[in-house]
Structure 1
Amino acid sequence: MTFEGFAPWAVLATACIVTWAATPRRVTSPQFFDGRSSDGALPGLWLVAVSAAITWIFAKSIANAADLAYAFGITGGLGYTIYYLSFIVGGVAIYFLRTRGHYRSLTHFLVEKYGMLCARLFLLTIGFRLFNEVWSNTKVMALFFGAEGSPAYWLATIAVTLFTLSYAWTGGMRASLLTDRIQAILAFVLLGVVLTVLFPGLSAKGVPEVPIDLRQGGITFCLLALVQVLSYPFHDPVLTDRAFLSPPRDMLKSFILAALISGGFIFLFSFIGLYARAHGLPANPSVSVPAAFGLLMMLVFNGIMLLSGSSTIDSTFTSVAKLAARDWRNDTREPAARHLTAGRIAVLAVAVIGNLPLLTIYLGDKVGPAIIAATTISGTMVMGLAPIFLLAWIKPASRLSFHLAFWPGLAFGVVRTVEVFLKIHIFPEAIAIGFGKYAVDLGVNVWGLLICTAGYLIGAALARKRQCACAATS
């Protein structure tokens, strides 16, 4: 093996050693699920903020931000940054759920207001989201070791998965919080190195101009992100699980900080895409830019991807453990040893199943998941969650409201998923809003959200009418 081939593995080994040093070797059930310290203390404001921020700086998000800036100019990077307003939307909504209803999880709230069936439908949906997080982040990291489908690519896939599995299995949420802190510091240091190298070249060329059709396409993507951010945070337990770790007021402050930290990181990283466009480099700037600067820059990028990707995957494993061991049965009791066993079995299962979509490369170029699809498509499928959580203060709204909001959104999302993955057209062109490749997505999300919200309100109106009729006859 040449030095160039060996170097990325050395970076991976270094990241593993540093991360493992911050990982607790043994934890109790409350530490595993709630992230408490060895003396039972709740996680602090800054620990939650930094952890939430780095877990949302996905490896795929970093690649997407650079790709979008390359494709659409600065509006592309801005569009992906808008998704980080999810911390604000989710934080405010959950703050009121916790302070007014004293709920201990989103599942607890859903069971109390809409019933167990509705809660489990929600859990199945976020299970799909967690499934997406595994393969999409693993794929981005593995591509730094070799071409897709190569022996080095598959070896990296296995190595990254086994490493994150090892400490997520051992320490759960506590390990995730502590390793996130180290990973965040290192990721920002490496980003600083990258920007220091690139800014002189970008300043000399200036922010690249893009044709008007691409600018309009970038604005369309920005609008898509603004629509999806109303529902997006609620289907990501990596985010919402952390909203129940600390007192409500501290949580809200942590989430505002996390929005600034992670959103700032993503926007700054999108400048890599601008640099690639300004200098005429090939597409996939998170690979082409470091390749233009040589091995050392490639290793820095590799380090950023490994740190961000592993922080997301270990948090995904932790959320899967909580979903399977506690949320599925709406178990709000203190975590016990039985929860720990069930959670660890679920983590092992998703580590294997979550990477199976990577095998679709052997099906040919007519089918297979693109990395950006893990964001835009899963965001479309859950558009009905916006009224379910944001309009929860409407008292008559109950099971009927949930179903009239949830199912239309899921139907729109499934159809759009079939379109994207099989590369066929089902929605009519008339549904599109805006310009470019995301015009159909924006149209589907706008019209779909209006239908979901109308369904939710109709359900509440029918429930109120039924209540009034019962009161009149009693």
Structure 2
Amino acid sequence: MCFERVSHQLGVIFFVIIMLIYGWLGGMRSVAYTDTIQGFALLIGVFLLLIGSIIYFGGVPTSTDYMRAYSPEKIGIPDAAGVRNWLSLLLLIGIGAAVYPHAIQRIFAAKSEKTLKRSFSRMAWMPFVTAGVVFLIGIIGINAFPGLSTGDSEQLVGMMASTIASQNALFYWAMILLFGGVIAAIVSTADSILLTFSSIISNDLYGNYINPKASQRKKLLVGKLAGVVAVGILILIAWFPPATLYQIFVLKFELLIQISPGFILGLYWNRLHPKAVFAGMFAGTAVASVMTVLGLSWLNIASGLWGLLLNLSICVLGSLMMTVSEKEENESEQVISV
């Protein structure tokens, strides 16, 4: 099993084409099917990867002994700056994940309220299980492949899986299943966001402002074409990744979290003004972006949270100073009451 036979660029193009095909033809239904399939694949594959890691690399106790002897800083108590950084990341990801586009999309796509509640009752605890297993695999990997650089460490799971897959047929097919699920999860998430973007272009922009009399079929076509253009731009970025996966992951949430005041405050406060929301979102995104690009850090707290603080302040103060029409207030009351 080898993970370097196909170039990064060729892989990007191949999976973008797959995403466009099933997103264009199947829409949200196709995303739901791929989510189900990749969920089972990931669950089975990641647990077998953990079992293989324990068998062939010695498990967590062996890694702990290694770190105690050669990297004691990894098991030491973090300083105040480290604690602030981790707490800020937890807050950043916790709030950002709650307003993730594909998560919200699934709320509106649910067949009924009962189906939605049943789904969330299972989803609530699954991240702790899956992320916990991956965390243990990462700890074991410290001993399995010591001394990796920051860039090389992002290939750790692939390196461990390649070694385990070469041991016997069971683990070979399990690792194929695992990485098939990983790829499906990435493509599925990207496709969900692409569908959301296409819907915004076709309904909110084209349908409301450019051509209000357009048929549903024409608006759908415009949205799909806009999605293809957006994917073309993103391919150029993905062709030469601007940073490590971890940095891209954090940057995504630093920007994504800026929409949270509009969603969270809007659910419980009918005086929230749309202009204040837009101004706050714009200011928060600008602050987070500038701090990230320039590498600025204050108190070792994620730049997205400083942007969110400014964002939230503008939303609240701006809404208190602006008046809301009776029609808008009634509409807000209807949404909040639901």
The verdict on a shared fold, with TM-score over 0.5 as the criterion, is yes
User: TM bucket by the smaller chain?
Assistant: 0.7 to 0.9
The alpha carbon displacement at 1:373 in A equals: 2.9
Q: In 1, distance between residues paired with 2:61 and 2:247?
A: 34
- Of 264, 270, 287, the match for 2:129: 264
Q: In 1, distance between residues paired with 2:190 and 2:282?
A: 29
The alpha carbon displacement at 1:187 in A equals: 1.9
The alpha carbon displacement at 1:458 in A equals: 1.2
Q: In 1, distance between residues paired with 2:76 and 2:61?
A: 23
Match in the other structure for 1:360? 240
Q: Does 1:179 align with 2:37?
A: no
| Alignment map for 1:121-136 (pairs within 5 Å) | none
- Give the direction of change, closer, same or farther, for the CA distance of 1:198–1:465 in structure 2 (3 Å limit): closer
- Would you say the 8 A contact 2:84–2:301 is kept in 1? no
- Of 241, 249, 259, the match for 1:375: 249
Q: In 2, distance between residues paired with 1:349 and 1:169?
A: 13
Q: What secondary structure is seen at the aligned counterpart in 2 of 1:326?
A: helix
1:299-342 per-residue CA deviation (whole Å, 9 max, x = no partner) reads 455334223223223333333332322343577xxx94334322
Q: In 1, distance between residues paired with 2:39 and 2:179?
A: 15
Match in the other structure for 1:449? 308
- Give the direction of change, closer, same or farther, for the CA distance of 1:447–1:187 in structure 2 (3 Å limit): closer
- Give the direction of change, closer, same or farther, for the CA distance of 1:145–1:344 in structure 2 (3 Å limit): farther
The alpha carbon displacement at 1:214 in A equals: 5.3
Match in the other structure for 1:108? none
Q: In 2, distance between residues paired with 1:221 and 1:256?
A: 27
Alignment identity in percent?
A: 18
Match in the other structure for 2:221? 341
- 1:179 maps to a residue whose letter is T
- Give the direction of change, closer, same or farther, for the CA distance of 1:305–1:230 in structure 2 (3 Å limit): closer
- Give the direction of change, closer, same or farther, for the CA distance of 1:369–1:299 in structure 2 (3 Å limit): same
- Would you say the 8 A contact 2:203–2:219 is kept in 1? yes
- Of 53, 59, 63, the match for 1:202: 59
1:392-420 per-residue CA deviation (whole Å, 9 max, x = no partner) reads 2333331343144223311212203322x
Q: Does 1:323 align with 2:214?
A: no
- Of 230, 233, 237, the match for 2:101: 237
Over aligned residues, Cα RMSD in angstroms?
3.4
- Give the direction of change, closer, same or farther, for the CA distance of 1:324–1:447 in structure 2 (3 Å limit): closer
Stretches of structure 2 that go unaligned for 5 or more consecutive residues are: 69-73, 167-171, 209-214, 327-338
1:47-88 per-residue CA deviation (whole Å, 9 max, x = no partner) reads xxxxxxxxxxxxxxxxxxxxxxxxxxxxxxxxxxxxxxxxxx
| Alignment map for 1:22-421 (pairs within 5 Å) | 144-146=3-5, 152-200=7-55, 201-205=58-62, 207=64, 210-212=74-76, 217=82, 220-234=85-99, 236-246=100-110, 247-248=112-113, 250-281=115-146, 282=148, 283-284=153-154, 285-295=156-166, 296=172, 299=176, 301-328=178-205, 336-360=216-240, 368-392=242-266, 393-419=268-294
- Give the direction of change, closer, same or farther, for the CA distance of 1:231–1:189 in structure 2 (3 Å limit): closer
The alpha carbon displacement at 1:349 in A equals: 2.1
- Give the direction of change, closer, same or farther, for the CA distance of 1:329–1:244 in structure 2 (3 Å limit): farther
The alpha carbon displacement at 1:357 in A equals: 0.9
TM-score with structure 2 setting the length = 0.74
The alpha carbon displacement at 1:245 in A equals: 1.3
Q: In 1, distance between residues paired with 2:142 and 2:84?
A: 18
Q: In 1, distance between residues paired with 2:313 and 2:195?
A: 35
- Give the direction of change, closer, same or farther, for the CA distance of 1:239–1:278 in structure 2 (3 Å limit): same
The alpha carbon displacement at 1:228 in A equals: 4.4
- 1:340 maps to a residue whose letter is L
- 1:251 maps to a residue whose letter is L
The alpha carbon displacement at 1:351 in A equals: 2.9
- Give the direction of change, closer, same or farther, for the CA distance of 1:226–1:372 in structure 2 (3 Å limit): same
Q: In 2, distance between residues paired with 1:408 and 1:341?
A: 33
1:214-248 per-residue CA deviation (whole Å, 9 max, x = no partner) reads 586377324322244334433x3212111111234
- Give the direction of change, closer, same or farther, for the CA distance of 1:186–1:395 in structure 2 (3 Å limit): closer
TM-score with structure 1 setting the length = 0.55
Q: In 1, distance between residues paired with 2:92 and 2:17?
A: 36
